[in-house]
Amino acid sequence: MNLRRLWAVARKEGLHIRRDPRSLGLAIGIPMLMLLAFGYALTLDVDRVPFVVWDQSSTTQSRDFVARYTATPYFNFRGAVTNYTALERAIDAREAMLGLIIPSGFARSVDAGKPAAVQAIVDGSDSNTAGIVLGYAQAITLDFNRQLALEQIQRRTGLSPGAGLDLRTRVWFNPDLASRNFIVPGILAVIMGLISALLTSLTVAREWESGTMEQLISTPVQPTELILGKLIPYLAIGLVDLVLAVLMAVYLFDVPLRGSVPLLFGAGTLFIVATLAQGILISALARQQLLASQLAMVATFLPAFLLSGFAFAIANMPVIVRGITYVVPARYFVALVKGIFLRGVGLDVLWADALFLAVFASIMLVAAIARTRKHLS
Question: Domain map of the chain by residue range?
Answer: 3-43+178-376, 49-157
Task: Indicate the range of 108-112, 165-169, 206-210, 222-226 predicted with least confidence.
Answer: 206-210
pLDDT in tens, 52-83: 999 998 898 889 999 999 988 889 999 899 89
Alpha-carbon span 118 to 353, nearest angstrom: 50
Predicted confidence at residue 377, as pLDDT, reads 47
Predicted confidence at residue 354, as pLDDT, reads 92
Predicted confidence at residue 229, as pLDDT, reads 83
Task: Indicate the range of 42-56, 203-217, 286-300 predicted with least confidence.
Answer: 203-217
Predicted confidence at residue 216, as pLDDT, reads 67
pLDDT in tens, 170-182: 888 887 777 788 8
Predicted confidence at residue 211, as pLDDT, reads 66
Distance of CA 367 to the CA centre of its chain: 30
User: What's 49-157's CATH class?
Assistant: alpha beta
Give residue 34's pLDDT band: very low, low, confident or very high (50, 70, 90).
confident
Task: Give the mean pLDDT of 245-260.
Answer: 90
Task: Give the mean pLDDT of 261-269.
Answer: 92
Q: With 80 as the cut, is the pLDDT of residue 102 above it?
A: yes
Predicted confidence at residue 374, as pLDDT, reads 47
Helix 21-41 / helix 223-247 crossing angle, nearest 10 deg:
40
Of 189, 199, 222, the C-alpha closest to 337 is 189
Predicted confidence at residue 30, as pLDDT, reads 82
pLDDT in tens, 305-332: 888 888 778 888 889 988 999 988 889 9
% of the chain residues with pLDDT over 90: 19
Alpha-carbon span 129 to 216, nearest angstrom: 57
pLDDT in tens, 289-309: 777 778 888 888 888 888 888
Predicted confidence at residue 213, as pLDDT, reads 66
Give residue 20's pLDDT band: very low, low, confident or very high (50, 70, 90).
confident
Predicted confidence at residue 373, as pLDDT, reads 61
